Amino acid sequence: MTARGTRLAAWGMACTLSLPAALQAAPVAGVSGVGDGSQTAQASQVSQQALLAQVRERVQSAPVVRGQFTQLKTVQGFRQPLKSSGDFVVARGKGIAWQVRQPFASTLIVRPDSLLSRGADGSTAVQMRAQDEPVLRTINAMLFSVVSADLAQLTHYFEVSGQVQGARWRLHLVPRDPVLAQWLQAVDLSGQQFVQSVQLQEARGDRSQIQMANPVAEQALRAQDAALFD
């Protein structure tokens, strides 16, 4: 598989099995990463830095965050969105675990150097490794930056705009990478201390939405969760 094919396949897998949602339709106002001339570009950059500084003040940084999710995925050609729900764990330096409970049990593990999908019986359905497809490391880092609101990494992968209102914040992300842009049109994040919702709009018209609820910050992985990343 080519690097381009791997990017799209890995992102598509993550979108289908795991990624996020935000269901507020209010327009995102604020800054843009693109300007008309050097002065506009410089002003935009300063505004973006100010926006991210405000968000950084509100987001809680923790080694481990766990919670529940509900996902709605709207697929072109289907009348009703596909709904799934389950539990998630985001562990700094380890990755992301999405454990789907309904309607069918499955687990997606996104590590820095691999992506693994397991069935209800624990058998491996799909596995990709960065040693075989080096671009996967970048894909997974990008996924982690979205789910965990890693602001430094977000600006590496996306043009960022948004707004802050009280304790709440919203970010609108547009991919910088033209290859990624062929798959992904935009991502909208919102939250308070943690990411609470994300809406992912694919270029082909499909949309993934996940509401992330009951987030809990912890200092270390629980034993059963640590086993997922082994």
CA pair distance 108, 18, nearest whole angstrom: 7
Tell me how many helices (H) and strands (E) the chain has: 6, 11
CA nearest neighbour of 177 among 135, 144, 132: 135
Q: List the chain pLDDT tens, one digit each, 230 residues.
A: 444 444 444 445 454 444 332 222 223 333 333 344 554 445 455 588 888 889 888 988 889 999 999 999 898 888 888 899 999 998 988 888 989 999 889 888 888 888 888 888 777 777 777 677 665 666 667 777 777 777 787 888 889 899 999 999 999 999 887 777 877 899 999 999 998 998 989 888 899 898 999 999 999 999 988 988 87
Q: How far apart are the first and last CA of the chain?
A: 26
Domains with residue ranges and CATH for the chain: 3-228 (2.50.20.10)
User: pTM (2 decimals)?
Assistant: 0.75
Tokens representing residue 21 in the block: 């949602």
CB 146 within 8 A of CB 187: yes
Q: How far is it, in rounded angstroms, from Cα 1 to Cα 156?
A: 25
